[in-house]
Amino acid sequence: MKKKLLIFLFGFFSIFTAFSQQTLIKGSVKEALSFEPIVDVLVTIEETEQTTQTNELGEFQFTQNVPLGEQILRISKIGYATKRYPIIVNENQTVNITDMTLEVDNSSSDELFTITLSDDQLDNDESGADNISGLLASSLDLFQRTAAFEFSSSFFRVRGLDSDNGSVLINGIEMNKLYNGRPQWSNWGGLNDVVRNQELTVGLTPSSYNFGGILGTTNINVRASQARPGGRVTYSSSNRSYTNRLMATYASGLLKNGFAYTFSVARRWGDEGYQDATLYNSNSFFASVEKKFNDKHSLSFTSIYTPNRRGKSSPNTQEIYDLKDIRYNEYWGWQDGEKRNSRIKEVEEPIVMLNHYWDINSKTSLNTNIGYQFGKIGNSRLNNNGTDLVNGFPEGGAQNPSPAYYQKLPSYLVRNFPDDLEFAFGAQQKFINDGQIDWNALYQANISNAQNGGNAIFALYEDRVDDKQLTVNTIFNTELNENIIINAALNYKSLKSENFAEIIDLLGATTYLDVDGFATDIDEAQNDLLNPNRLVGEGDRFAYNYNLFANIINGYAQAQFKYNKVDFYLSGSVTSTQYQREGIYQNGGFPDNSVGKGDKLSFTGIGAKGGLTYKLTGKHLFDVNAGYITRAPSLRNTYSNSRENHNVVPNITEEKIASVDASYIFRSPIVKAKLTGYYTKIEDASEISFFFADGIGGDNTAFVQEILQGIDKRHIGSELAIEAQVTPTIKLKGVASVGQYTYDNNPNLFLTTEADDESIAAGFVEGFKDFGQANLKDYKLAAGPHRAYSVGFEYRDPDYWWVGATANFFTNTYIDVSPLTRSENFTSDFDGNTFNDYDEDLARELLEQERFNDYMVVNLIGGKSWKLGDKYISIFASVNNLLDEVYKTGGFEQGRNANYRQLRDDKALDTPVFGSKYWYGRGTTYFVNVNFRF
């Protein structure tokens, strides 16, 4: 594999020659107050296709196809006020415009908006819903910024794609998690001052750091030598995720002795955000020290530590929202006069990295990086299945303590006691007047059982993931000549992931019996046959315990060609991936397939992409990109039930992605517009879900792992962004995203569960059953709004105050459908034949996908800044959802009603017992930020 990789890298490109251009424009850009060089300033020759960026000395130059005559140089960078410089270019002469200056623009929303993006990532483990707004924070592209700042609160996903299709890097080291492919934003949350220096490529366009995904690459540059010198203190108040935030940052800039350092600390906290009892407690620490030895070599050390805890909020059925409101959260209850949330997500994963930068010559560089990340991610929840050994067999357990458990709700009591509606009325009043976890009752039950010699009935535990990941890479960039740039990289990742459950609080008891209370056989009940009937206490591991190992080697190479009328690029990559599971416990349900190391799994991924930009004139450009990628499935979607056994998803293979987009770009001094059409096809994807199902193989019930394999998806649509600087102070903006995201085939459906008498009765063989195909073709993907529109304006006064408003419209948002109810199980009775009372027309109505109501959200922003000598004070404020619109952002069908009769009878009720669960968007929220820079 290594030999093939080397052949690929060294044989990918041939050497080209090109002529030199003697007409030159060169210069430098510095910070207006400190007069320090500014890196990565975008320098543009207006009315042409010519752009470049400043290097670490703040210098730039144009050497190829330089236009003659009167020209305008525009220099811009996020966080600074854009400037325009007139110049005159004569043939075969050099225009040298040094020491141009940029002033910090504290009236700009550009840097202030990035404050809230990582804080508001919607990390709902149950739904798998996330958004990618953080990937777009540094973009100057109007569409990308609108998607980040206006659309993200509605679960909008660019092109309907998950965030695992984009890469997030810090100093060239990829941060996406191997478990699910997504970036864990809270690993650097609160460090907005030091992570604002970002380099973004959108879609398939080329990156200097890696091959990237079909959503592009964001590299966060935290080198101390390139941080803006000076200090900053910020206080913020909000009612979104947290209520208070305090940040302090200081950067030295590059000192005369060659050292540079940056330090940042922050704290974010609040008893609850917009949803009830969603506590927030986060501290953030950052330190970076860099030593520039000479003009060629620099060494940088960076450490990031951001421990954070936040309370989760629940998705709910419409019945629950109607009885309460959209802030309702079932996960908490009162204890000693305070709200205690049972579902806490805690992330504590420090990052350390060492980066070596070698400028081999003025046109060639080699960047070598080592990164190590370790620590834990914990998600807590209540367990109500505590048992005692009675005559050698576990007995006990209790009803689910959740106040929203279906048997406690009016709908269940109406269905089961239709002639005694006082039961339903009593449940309704109890839920309206309280409707929260009764912590005191849990303590009383445990204490009472312990006094009688028993164990805990209830326990608060944590699902833990303790990762240790080493990343080593080297990134090579060279400019062969004025027309050709070569990029290449080699990457190695090694992961050991410990996965286990740990007792946090026994709620008044001292021991918990570590067995499966639902099992029907004493050996099968053992979570660990190596330690049968083990009693565990607080801080002990229990239930499951296993390790996942991953090793990944990747290489990529790329060539970028820039000519007068055409720019184009070619890029390729090869990736070797290995996974392995190691069981620490011998599970009683899978005694021969759970303990020790399982088979090694190997996947080979390839990537190829290319693109072309044709410059008809300086105002009219056409851009086309196309790519094909095969990639290993994530760890999450490789093992069907990794907590209990080594089993792998049947027919597992690499996921295939083909994507193409084409754009027309218009730019003039007043109007800028971009129209893009895109098509993406994803094949052979896998998804795994866990839930309790009724109606398996007739009237049987089981806790199942649902495996959907061989999924094909189609994403097709268009994007439009247009902005007009109608006056020097007023800008109008309009954005539209029109897409259709669908299942493109009928994927294979398998269920796994415990191999017991109940599963055998349901037709399972050794805990496995093939349900054939799930009829999902043409169902819409639950990818947020498929269509989104935004119109707005911005007014910027010369006296450094500004206001803006946008109206955002969202349509075509769909529920996540249940695959099991679209399989043969839906129509099959216990004997495998179709139900004798099956009505095809009614079935079609029952299985119709729910589309949410369209809605509009109005947002306001504004700010003011003051310059006091060489210091700045600024204030920024935003109000989201000004009109307090109530809207659903997402949801999923419960898989509980697995067959026709179950679903028919439930939906016949005025209020279904197992109705779909939803997330609602936030009502009116605010964010206020005060900043002092010195």
pLDDT tens-place string over residues 454-472: 999 999 999 999 999 999 9
Q: How many CA atoms lie within 13 A of 102 on its CB side?
A: 28
Q: Residue 126 above 60 pLDDT?
A: no
Q: Residue 79 above 80 pLDDT?
A: no
pLDDT at res. 929: 93
Q: How confident is the model at residue 129 (pLDDT cuts 50, 70, 90)?
A: very low
Interstrand relation of 198-202 and 216-220 (parallel, antiparallel or unpaired): antiparallel
Q: How confident is the model at residue 49 (pLDDT cuts 50, 70, 90)?
A: low
Task: Please tell me the least confidently modeled range out of 313-317, 516-520, 665-669, 763-767.
Answer: 763-767
CB atoms within 10 A of CB 521: 15
Report yes or no: 43 and 63 within 8 Å, Cβ to Cβ.
no
pLDDT at res. 692: 79
Q: Residue 1 above 70 pLDDT?
A: no
DSSP state of 125: T
Task: Please tell me the least confidently modeled range out of 216-225, 383-392, 471-480, 517-526.
Answer: 517-526
Residue for token digits 């190391």?
A: 597
Strands (E), 257-386: 259-270, 280-292, 297-305, 308-311, 316-317, 332-335, 338-341, 344-348, 351-361, 364-374, 376-383
CA pair distance 304, 260, nearest whole angstrom: 17
User: What's the whole-number mean pLDDT along residues 747-754?
Assistant: 90
Q: How confident is the model at residue 223 (pLDDT cuts 50, 70, 90)?
A: very high
Residue for token digits 């305008």?
A: 72
pLDDT at res. 111: 40
Strands (E), 480-589: 484-505, 512-513, 535-536, 541-562, 566-583
Q: What is residue 489's three-state secondary structure?
A: strand
What is the rounded average pLDDT for all residues in the chain? Answer: 90
pLDDT at res. 833: 87
User: What's the whole-number mean pLDDT along residues 599-623?
Assistant: 94
Q: Residue 877 above 80 pLDDT?
A: yes
CA pair distance 629, 656, nearest whole angstrom: 6
Q: How confident is the model at residue 48 (pLDDT cuts 50, 70, 90)?
A: confident
Q: Residue 227 above 50 pLDDT?
A: yes
Report yes or no: 767 and 705 within 8 Å, Cβ to Cβ.
no
Q: How confident is the model at residue 709 (pLDDT cuts 50, 70, 90)?
A: very high
pLDDT in tens, 415-456: 999 989 999 999 999 999 999 999 999 999 999 999 999 999
Q: Residue 19 above 90 pLDDT?
A: no
Report yes or no: 282 and 308 within 8 Å, Cβ to Cβ.
yes
What's CA 332's distance to the chain center, in Å? 26
The string over 286-300, giving b where at least 16 C-beta atoms fall within 10 Å of a residue's C-beta and e elsewhere, is bbbbbbbeeeeebeb
Residue for token digits 């229990």?
A: 542
Q: How confident is the model at residue 77 (pLDDT cuts 50, 70, 90)?
A: confident
DSSP 214-249: TTEEEEE---GGGSPSEEEEEEEEESSS-SEEEEEE
DSSP 152-181: GGGT--GGG--GGGSEEEETTEE-B-TTTS
DSSP 621-666: EEEEEEEEEEEPPPSTTTBSSTTT---B-TT---EEEEEEEEEEEE
pLDDT in tens, 262-287: 999 999 999 999 999 999 999 999 99
CA pair distance 244, 914, nearest whole angstrom: 38
pLDDT in tens, 754-763: 777 777 777 7
Q: With CA atoms as reference, report the closest residue to 657 among 739, 613, 707, 715.
A: 715
pLDDT at res. 199: 85
3-state SS record for 742-803: EECCCCEEEEECCCCHHHHHCCCECCEEEEEECCCCCCECCCCCCEEEEEEEEEEECCCEEE
Q: How many CA atoms lie within 13 A of 25 on its CB side?
A: 26
pTM, two decimals, is 0.88
What value does the CA radius of gyration of the chain take, rounded to a whole number of Å? 29
CA pair distance 888, 784, nearest whole angstrom: 10
User: What's the whole-number mean pLDDT along residues 109-132?
Assistant: 40
pLDDT at res. 639: 95
CA pair distance 316, 99, nearest whole angstrom: 59
User: What's the whole-number mean pLDDT along residues 97-125?
Assistant: 54
Both tokens assigned to 376: 């834990």
Report yes or no: 487 and 480 within 8 Å, Cβ to Cβ.
no
Q: How confident is the model at residue 798 (pLDDT cuts 50, 70, 90)?
A: confident
Residue 380 or residue 8, greater confidence = 380
Q: Residue 2 above 50 pLDDT?
A: no
The string over 433-470, giving b where at least 16 C-beta atoms fall within 10 Å of a residue's C-beta and e elsewhere, is eebbbebeebbebbeebbeeebbbbbbbbbbbbbbebe
Cβ within 8 Å of residue 645, ≥6 positions away: 583, 587, 589, 590, 593, 594
Q: How confident is the model at residue 219 (pLDDT cuts 50, 70, 90)?
A: very high
How far CA 102 is from CA of 58, 85, 249, 612, in Å, comes to 11, 12, 21, 32
Interstrand relation of 94-102 and 24-31 (parallel, antiparallel or unpaired): parallel
pLDDT in tens, 148-176: 888 988 889 999 999 899 999 999 999 99
Strand partners, 246: 235, 267
Q: How confident is the model at residue 186 (pLDDT cuts 50, 70, 90)?
A: confident
